[in-house]
């Protein structure tokens, strides 16, 4: 069974039927009339008034739609070569701290916690005769500063095995794909892409307070490589970011950016019993092999040392 089929079968009844509708029509462009008419014979698929639709019969969100003239700062969708994609979708309500006041946001949080996908609609034509591209189903894999991270399934029904959205270099964006095929290089055309990449790096390094605490705890050195170039260091969450409570010193490690990426991919982990670094079989023959088996550098302050439960959770997930 594919990741997609398994995800759909986490629910039943009209909720499953609605999710299957999105899965079957991934890539298609349909009218709002067709979407709304589905409620006459089956489950309602989306809400015209709200971007996030949470049916009354469940505590889970069913779908999200991104509008051409959205009042929120949703990101463009980043498509990958395997058909999967990623996007940042802003919650209902302008203030991040008011997230849980809205049932729609709570519905997406429940989808994230229960690993139930949502259908995603991207508006391609507004006004009379509005049309939407069906992106298919996506898992809600994170929330930060008001933005939900959505990870779409690949053409084969698989999901990228990331616990949060990867950095800009890991994504084949529409902009970068276009640039690759231009006959002439034009510096002006990449400025927006550069600005977005810088913004994503800032977010990835960690929220200021959390980053400062982790930098201080590890005395400005990567816990695995001992790199002390602050600009190259990131405050990594051991367990996925699920809100402000995740920004605890004991759920953080200071890692060099490339090590952070490998840690998020489950290619590097920390044995919670020995506190030694462990690499996947793929990495041991590479330049990273020197770190396999070495002791993990702990903060001197006991209150800042990583949670053994968190390390165990990552270790079991990585299954190295």
pLDDT at 317: 86
Looking at per-residue pLDDT, the higher value among 3 and 138 belongs to 138
For residue 203, pLDDT over 50 is answered with: no
Which of these ranges, 68-77, 131-140, 143-152, 251-260, has the smallest mean pLDDT? 68-77
pLDDT at 188: 53
For residue 201, pLDDT over 50 is answered with: no
pLDDT at 184: 57
Share of the chain above pLDDT 70, in %: 81
For residue 265, pLDDT over 70 is answered with: yes
- Name every residue whose Cβ is closer than 8 Å to that of residue 229 and which is 6 or more positions away in sequence: none
For residue 179, pLDDT over 90 is answered with: no
What's the pTM?
0.52
How would residue 6 be classed by pLDDT, with cut points 50, 70 and 90? confident
Q: How many CB atoms lie under 10 A from the CB of residue 171? A: 18
For residue 172, pLDDT over 50 is answered with: no
Q: What are phi and psi of 197, to 5 degrees?
A: -60, -45
pLDDT at 239: 83
For residue 14, pLDDT over 60 is answered with: yes
Q: What is the mean pLDDT of the segment spanning 98-122?
A: 94
Cα three-residue angle 301-313-258, rounded to 5 degrees:
70
| pLDDT mean across residues, the chain | 82
For residue 282, pLDDT over 60 is answered with: yes
- Name every residue whose Cβ is closer than 8 Å to that of residue 308 and which is 6 or more positions away in sequence: 272
For residue 313, pLDDT over 80 is answered with: yes
How would residue 174 be classed by pLDDT, with cut points 50, 70 and 90? very low
pLDDT at 164: 41
Which of these ranges, 56-70, 137-151, 228-242, 296-310, has the smallest mean pLDDT? 228-242
pLDDT at 221: 95
pLDDT at 211: 81
Domains assigned to the chain: 3-166 (2.30.280), 206-318 (no CATH)
pLDDT at 81: 73
């Amino acid at each position: 069974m594919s990741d997609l089929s398994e995800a759909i079968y986490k629910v039943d009844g009209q909720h499953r039927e609605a999710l299957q509708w999105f899965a079957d029509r991934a890539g298609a462009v349909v009218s709002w009339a067709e979407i709304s008419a589905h409620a006459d014979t089956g489950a309602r698929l989306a809400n015209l008034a709200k971007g996030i639709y949470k049916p009354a019969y469940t505590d889970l969100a069913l779908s999200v739609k991104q509008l051409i003239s959205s009042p929120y700062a949703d990101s463009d969708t980043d498509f990958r070569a395997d058909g999967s994609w990623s996007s940042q979708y802003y919650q209902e309500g302008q203030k991040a701290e008011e997230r849980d006041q809205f049932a729609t946001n709570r519905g997406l949080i429940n989808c994230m916690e229960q690993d139930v996908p949502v259908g995603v609609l991207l508006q391609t034509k507004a006004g009379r005769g509005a049309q939407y591209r069906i992106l298919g189903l996506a898992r809600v894999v994170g929330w930060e500063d008001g933005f939900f991270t959505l990870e779409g399934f690949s053409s084969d029904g698989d999901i990228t095995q990331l616990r949060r959205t990867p950095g800009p270099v890991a994504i084949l964006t529409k902009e970068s794909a276009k640039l690759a095929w231009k006959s002439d290089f034009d510096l002006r055309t990449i400025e927006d892409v550069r600005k977005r990449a810088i913004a994503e790096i800032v977010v990835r390094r960690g929220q200021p307070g959390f980053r400062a605490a982790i930098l201080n705890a590890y005395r400005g050195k990567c816990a695995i490589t001992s790199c002390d170039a602050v600009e190259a260091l990131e405050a990594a969450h051991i367990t996925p970011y699920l809100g402000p409570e995740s920004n605890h010193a004991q759920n953080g490690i200071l890692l060099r950016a490339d090590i952070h990426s490998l840690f998020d991919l489950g290619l590097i982990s920390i044995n919670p019993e020995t506190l030694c670094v462990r690499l996947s079989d793929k990495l041991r023959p590479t330049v990273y092999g020197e770190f396999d088996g070495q002791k993990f550098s702990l903060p001197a302050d006991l209150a800042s040392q990583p949670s053994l439960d968190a390390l165990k959770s990552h270790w079991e997930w990585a299954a190295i």
